């Protein structure tokens, strides 16, 4: 699950990967189920799994060393050729597991980084993935030179290994610096685009939610866009922004990268520019998968809210949207409506509930608007046309002194048109 040589070679290599999944720590509902789904998305087959319930993972070998030794025969019986842990391993844990199990060991973070590398299409997405991979691997470089340590020192082993290690670290740090510089430039360009949206005062709405909750389908349904959809985790990496209108008012809608339980911090850091589309939104649509079991849906909802807090987006107004209700029975929908009366039930597949959702978006944005009265010269045709597009509840009266407009708009918008305001 390292970076591919070529797409064809990668596919052949992935097809041969047979993963045995392990988990150590407090009981986590469906934790290995999600890891198995990640492995499927990454192109590997899961042939077995084992969990050790304990207060925390063993700092030396993740699972207790005795349990790891018991795993040797269990893993051999499955014909696995790869072991994957459901947490981010320390370099020490990774080396210990590889030595005890005599096969390659990956952790959850490495798998997610690999999936991100597969799905990054834009230049920005590829840079973000590269940055995350470089920072992840930098901490693990020491393990590349353990073959020199095993020689026990002596002539020929004092110095060269350390020199090579330091060289590799320096090269990695230099590349990290280059990638960050390029990402800052991309972020600057994105900031200019965002500033243009602010200048024209078009409200920004962002779709957030657990990966594979149907955000891209919902975006297509709302905007008529043609965003690619596949039944894979993290299929959407690069943010997609489209404009739509509802009741004569323009909005922009952004589909952002999906969240996941235990989202690696490297990804949160490196995808800061992408996540800024969430941070700067006027309204969030928090999308959940209605077809999931209620316990799993609540667990994933908590993961999303934790991530929103992590990126400082938890204070942004949001609407709770439950998608895929066409896959629920009538009893399940009735029970959900009673338990979550504030949630909007929709189906991106059938279009059910979409108008109700758009009305709720309009009402939420509108609730934060103020009433203004503007008097514009008859010659201000471009400004009047802009007001028709961005303001709400607009009425106009053409008189001898100019065009009198009554409308609702945000305080930022009101400041932009303040020179036309009359008491």
Sheet holding 402-409, edge to edge: 370-376, 402-409, 392-399
Instruction: Give the position of tokens 């991309």.
Output: 186
What is the rounded distance in angstroms from the CA atom of residue 392 to the CA atom of residue 417? 14
Contact criterion met (CB below 8 Å) for 305 and 195: no
Give the rounded percent of residues in the chain with a pLDDT score beyond 70.
80
- The set of residues, in sequence order, having a beta carbon less than 8 Å from that of 286 and lying 6+ positions away, is 208, 209, 301, 304, 318, 319, 320, 321
Mean pLDDT throughout 302-324?
89
pLDDT at res. 17: 87
What is the rounded distance in angstroms from the CA atom of residue 148 to the CA atom of residue 169? 17
CA distances from 364 to 162, 197, 240, 419 (A): 59, 19, 22, 27
CATH of 202-366 among 1.10.3720.10, 3.30.930.10, 3.40.190.10, 3.40.50.300:
3.40.50.300
Show the tokens assigned to 315.
Answer: 């204070």
Show the tokens assigned to 326.
Answer: 């066409």
pLDDT at res. 272: 60
pLDDT at res. 229: 52
Higher pLDDT, 242 or 27: 242
Q: Give yes or no for residue 157 having a pLDDT over 70.
A: no
Tell me which fold the domain 7-118 belongs to: Rossmann fold (3.40.50)
The answer to whether domain 202-366 and domain 369-420 are alike in fold is no
Domains in the chain: boundaries: 7-118, 120-199, 202-366, 369-420
Mean pLDDT throughout 213-239?
72
What is the rounded distance in angstroms from the CA atom of residue 176 to the CA atom of residue 322? 39
Radius of gyration of the chain measured on its C-alpha atoms: 26
Q: Give yes or no for residue 311 having a pLDDT over 50.
A: yes
Confidence of residue 144 (pLDDT cuts 50, 70, 90): very low
At the top level of CATH, which class does the domain 369-420 belong to?
alpha beta
Q: What is the per-residue pLDDT across 21-39, written as a single tens digit (0 to 9) for each?
A: 999 988 654 568 889 988 9
Q: What is the per-residue pLDDT across 32-75, written as a single tens digit (0 to 9) for each?
A: 888 998 898 888 999 999 999 899 999 999 999 899 999 999 99
Contact criterion met (CB below 8 Å) for 409 and 390: yes
């Amino acid at each position: 699950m390292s970076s591919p040589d070529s797409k064809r070679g990668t596919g052949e290599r992935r097809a041969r990967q047979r993963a045995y999944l392990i988990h150590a720590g407090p009981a986590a509902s469906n934790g290995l189920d999600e890891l198995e789904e990640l492995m499927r998305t990454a192109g590997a087959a899961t042939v077995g799994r084992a969990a050790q319930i304990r207060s925390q993972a063993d700092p030396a070998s993740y699972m207790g060393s005795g349990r790891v030794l018991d795993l040797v025969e269990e893993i051999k019986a499955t014909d696995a050729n790869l072991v994957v842990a459901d947490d981010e391993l320390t370099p020490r844990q990774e080396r210990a597991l590889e030595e005890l199990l005599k096969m390659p060991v990956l952790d959850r973070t490495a798998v997610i980084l690999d999936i991100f590398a597969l799905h990054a299409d834009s230049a920005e997405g590829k840079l973000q993935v590269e940055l995350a991979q470089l920072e992840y691997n930098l901490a693990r470089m020491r393990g590349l030179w353990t073959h020199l340590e095993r020689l026990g020192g002596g002539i020929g082993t004092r110095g060269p290994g350390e020199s090579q290690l330091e060289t590799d670290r320096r090269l990695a740090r230099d590349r990290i610096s280059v990638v960050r510089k390029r990402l800052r430039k991309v972020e600057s360009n994105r900031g200019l685009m965002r500033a243009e949206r602010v200048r024209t005062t078009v409200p920004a709405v962002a779709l957030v939610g657990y990966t594979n909750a149907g955000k891209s389908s919902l975006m297509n349904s709302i905007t008529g866009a043609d965003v690619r959809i596949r039944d894979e985790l993290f299929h959407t990496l690069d943010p997609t922004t489209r404009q739509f209108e509802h009741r004569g008012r323009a909005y922009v809608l952004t589909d952002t990268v999906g969240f996941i339980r235990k989202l690696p911090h490297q990804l949160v850091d490196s995808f800061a520019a992408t996540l800024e589309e969430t941070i700067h939104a006027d309204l969030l649509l928090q999308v959940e998968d209605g077809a999931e079991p209620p316990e799993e849906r609540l667990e994933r909802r908590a993961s999303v809210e934790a991530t929103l807090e992590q990126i400082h987006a938890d204070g942004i107004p949001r609407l709770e949207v439950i998608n895929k209700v066409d896959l629920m029975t009538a009893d399940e929908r009735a029970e959900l409506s009673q338990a979550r009366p504030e949630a909007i039930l929709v189906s991106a597949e059938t279009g059910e509930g979409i108008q109700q959702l758009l009305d709720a978006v309009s009402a939420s944005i509108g609730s934060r608007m103020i009433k203004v009265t503007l008097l514009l010269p008859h010659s201000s045709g471009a400004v009047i046309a802009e007001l028709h597009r961005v303001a709400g509840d607009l009425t106009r009266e053409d008189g001898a002194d100019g065009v009198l407009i009554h409308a609702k708009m945000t305080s930022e918008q009101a400041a932009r048109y303040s020179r036309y305001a009359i008491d």
